[in-house]
Amino acid sequence: MESVPDSRKQRGSDKRLTEIKLKKGESVEKALRRLKKRIDREGTLREVRNHRHYEKPSERRRRKMKVARFSAMLSARYADL
């Protein structure tokens, strides 16, 4: 049996929780801003949104192809600069 704590046995929870330490004299608002930046940098929120519902493999391929087409279009548009 795994030696993983019960709270981490959920699907896709192999990552640790994001945490920040409150610096001495730092306001809570500033610490919250730092936390939001770190979550955004790690892609945690993006991953949570992607797992809200099941995405079929064909839908995933279609979405990735759409992103690739858009990136290629931008690259072609700005290649002459």
CB 31 within 8 A of CB 23: yes
**DSSP 3-state percent helix, strand, coil across the chain (nearest 5):** 55, 0, 45
For residue 48, give its domain range. Answer: 19-77
Please indicate, yes or no, if residue 4 is contained in any of the structural domains.
Answer: no
Residue 65 lies in a domain: yes
Does some domain include residue 67?
A: yes
Label residue 50 by pLDDT band (50, 70, 90).
confident
Q: What is the pTM of this model?
A: 0.51
Tens of pLDDT, residues 6-28: 554 555 556 678 889 999 999 99
Residue 69, Ramachandran bin (φ over 0: left; ψ between -120 and 50: alpha; else beta): alpha
51 lies in some domain: yes
In the chain, the number of structural domains is: 1
